[in-house]
Amino acid sequence: MISRRDALLSMLFGTGYVGLRALATGLPATVLLDPRRALADTPPACPTGSSGQFVIFHTSGSGDPINASAPGTYEDPKIVHSADPTMAPGQLTIQGRTHTAAAPWATLPQNVLDRTCFWHLMTSTPVHPKEPDVLKLMNATQAGEMLPSLLAKQLAPCLGTIQAQPISIGATSPSEGLTFGGQALPIIPALALKATLTSPAGPLTNLQPLRDQTLAQLYDLYKNDATPAGRAYLDSMVTSQRQVRNIRQDLLAQLASIKDNSTSSQIIAAITLVQMKVTPVITIHIPFGGDNHRDVALKNESTQTVSGVASIVSLMSQLASAGLEDQVTFMSLDVFGRTIGPGNEDGRQHNQNHQVSVTIGKPFRGGVIGGVAPVGNDYGAIAIDSKTGAGSTSGDIAPAESLASFGQTMLAAVGTPAATITQLITSGKVVTGALA
């Protein structure tokens, strides 16, 4: 019987734990799986214009009220915002333009804000269990693939990750689970990752001998079969013994700091998976107010918005400390937003017409994408001008296509060719005004 630990290791690092050898040597798993072919071929490369982004993707089936605090909802005085002092409206600047938002958003450093887009979207559902459908862009994706999986499939070859499948470490309900190629993927909580990788006999303790053994096995192929380009590529990728020792020490220290499955622990786990090049896409869950129907004076919304933005600030800070700020993009997508019209002072209802997503990363030119206008007794997303990203009644992206357009733009941001994007997502269009 295979142990639970071995099953998890096999899932993370592949057959024969090839991913551990990739981590130990610095070589992509594709080279180690078929070295003769890899050394004879032209080295792999990311698509033209791609910065080879990893993606940390927040998703929630709770339907958080991010849309109640984001810039773009403060121009209309009838929109209800929290009166809590911690959520006082304030000014922030993105790419030289001033916007009004709840105070927590202004705590993002300026260099981060200039890469931050706030997307006013319509998900077309008020139902919590429809989160998987929203991740599939409400039937706009080829073969019903989820957006995190589409991104992972496009990114895995150029990033040389151990696997193409995304990993969920933060799902709090079945609706936040992921699928890949129609198959449900397991959830790996942060504590499970720590327990598997940091035990005294864990896989990270033997990286140096594994490096030397693997390189020795490759030497004859390197000497006799590799093209000059293949040798140069290999030489540029190989990790030294000193680097391996530092990697091992750093990863063990990071994982040891995980104490629970909280957002802060998920962030540590996600960054560790990026550094180990296990997968291109990791999903986490950041509480941002939740299902707040009876939230008196919007107290929980206020508390979690403050802590939620603080989590994003922490993520960006840790990425910068690890030298990954240009290599990792943050994206968010919730099942729906919240009602923000009059009468929402003590709790909010589901809003199928308006949800705000946040993206932060090198591929983006920061700003506010789209906007809101009255819809019935509440507010909903308006059309978007694809060239500028501005909300406009004359925009060429209708509200009902804003979700699919968000997906198309995410694929464009990571370097997916235009022809491939329209094959993978059958409606909407790329918002070029959001791209750097």
Quote the domain boundaries for residue 15: 1-44+190-260
The DSSP symbol for 370 reads: B
| 191-212 CB burial, b ≥16 within 10 A, e <16 | bbbbbbbbeeebbbeebeebbe
Q: Are residues 281 and 408 in the same domain?
A: yes
Q: Are residues 115 and 209 in the same domain?
A: no
- Confidence at residue 46, expressed as pLDDT on a 0 to 100 scale: 63
| 125-162 CB burial, b ≥16 within 10 A, e <16 | bbbbebbbbbbbbbebbeebbbbbbbbbbbbbbbbbbb
Least confident stretch, 113-117, 221-225, 339-343, 361-365:
221-225
> What's the residue count for the chain?
436
- Give mean pLDDT, residues 351-373: 98
Domain tally for the chain? Answer: 2
Whether the per-residue pLDDT at 2 is higher than 70: the answer is no
pTM: 0.93
Boundary-marking domain end, from 242, 260, 278: 260
- Give mean pLDDT, residues 371-379: 97
Q: Are residues 93 and 118 in the same domain?
A: yes
Q: What is the pLDDT of residues 122-158, one digit of tens each?
A: 999 999 999 999 999 999 999 999 999 999 999 998 8
Q: Are residues 21 and 126 in the same domain?
A: no
Whole-number Å distance between alpha carbons of 159 and 54: 8
Boundary-marking domain end, from 260, 295, 321: 260
Q: Are residues 208 and 64 in the same domain?
A: no
Whether the per-residue pLDDT at 274 is higher than 70: the answer is yes
Q: What is the pLDDT of residues 20-58, one digit of tens each?
A: 888 888 888 878 888 877 666 665 566 554 557 999 999
